[in-house]
């Protein structure tokens, strides 16, 4: 268990990248194609390029509004699962998880704001 605020070390970034990809694999069956993690005091930022699933592409072509709704709910679920994993494996107090996902480019930016101790 990690018990201090995260630092901008390679070890911390690898840990966070692994966790992020683990959630991605659980939810959509694949990890990211590009993932950059940065840590600055109480802020963790993930910049990710996700893989387009065949189901997602099919929905986009047939029912774009449904695909957009599914993407929205998957993003909420992503934040929930990421929070759960972080709370299980660290003692960081999470103030907020903010996530924006652009389905056209498959890019996602996720920010985790930690409470100051």
Domains contained in the chain, CATH given: 10-114 (3.30.980)
pLDDT tens per residue, range 9-63: 889 999 999 999 999 999 888 889 999 999 998 899 999 998 766 666 666 667 6
Q: How far is CA 88 from the centre of its chain?
A: 16
36 φ/ψ angles, rounded to the nearest 5 degrees: -120, 130
Q: For 62-80, write each residue's pLDDT tens digit.
A: 767 777 888 888 899 999 9
Q: How far is CA 38 from the centre of its chain?
A: 13
State whether residue 35 is helix, strand or coil. strand
Q: Are 81 and 27 in contact (CB under 8 A)?
A: yes
Sheet with 107-114, side-by-side order of all strands: 32-40, 43-50, 107-114, 94-102
């Amino acid at each position: 268990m990690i018990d201090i605020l995260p630092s901008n070390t390679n070890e911390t970034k690898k840990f966070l990248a692994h966790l992020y990809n683990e959630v991605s694999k659980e939810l959509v069956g694949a990890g990211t194609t590009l993932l950059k993690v940065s840590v600055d005091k109480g802020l963790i930022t993930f910049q990710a390029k996700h893989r387009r699933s065949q189901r997602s592409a099919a929905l986009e072509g047939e029912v774009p509004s449904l695909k957009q709704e599914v993407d929205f709910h998957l993003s909420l679920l992503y934040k929930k699962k990421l929070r759960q994993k972080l709370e299980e494996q660290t003692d960081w107090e999470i103030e907020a998880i903010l996530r924006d996902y652009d389905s056209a480019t498959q890019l996602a930016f996720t920010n985790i704001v930690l409470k100051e101790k």
